[in-house]
Structure 1
């Protein structure tokens, strides 16, 4: 997880530009942290609708599996320095995500971890909720 200058905590990453494939900015943001691993299989696809519904601004969010880091890769994070939009970083056990992440991020991360450990394929989410979940999806 990375900490942004405003104190928010999130997965490293950013937006794709234009028709750019999602894997490209994912790899770019890993390299900015000093990592050489490549984004691998997609763990979660989330269709986040603009609010109010129908407004311009819908987006797709992806969480990629990027493998396990070895000691030398861990040492390289932030070398020689962190990018200006990152104040710090930390490894976090999924059971103990910090309170700094939003409920939306928490739902997406929980589902990504479950998909990885259960090897069930890539869940498709809508606004951070499984589309097959028996819940009322917020408008």
Structure 2
């Protein structure tokens, strides 16, 4: 064990559990005690070794009954396509350009017709109406980027 970094050991331990099931739910303080490290070390391992790019979704709940849940997910094959759409969306996007993004997702087979219609309803000018065109475009971009982020993996 002395040849291994403690972060590697904690990562290996968690991945061993994940090999047996699709998700693990841990309490940060308990794992820190188990490996005789500070809780922030557990945060570091989770933030750097269990990312969406690596095929993991991490959710946490704070407080007395808090936990950290790490779930192994299947990444989609077309991540480069989704990444290019995220770049195209940026921090704000016009209604016209957002329709093109949804059309591209549909035509690529990433989403079906029903999902496309739901997304279109969520980014519709009637749904996003702040009174400021610039703010509408920012909200629309945030919605689309959130959707694209979720399309990166399948549960």
TM-score, normalised relative to structure 2: 0.25
Larger strand proportion of the pair: 1
Larger helix proportion of the pair: 2
User: Highest Rg: 1 or 2?
Assistant: 2
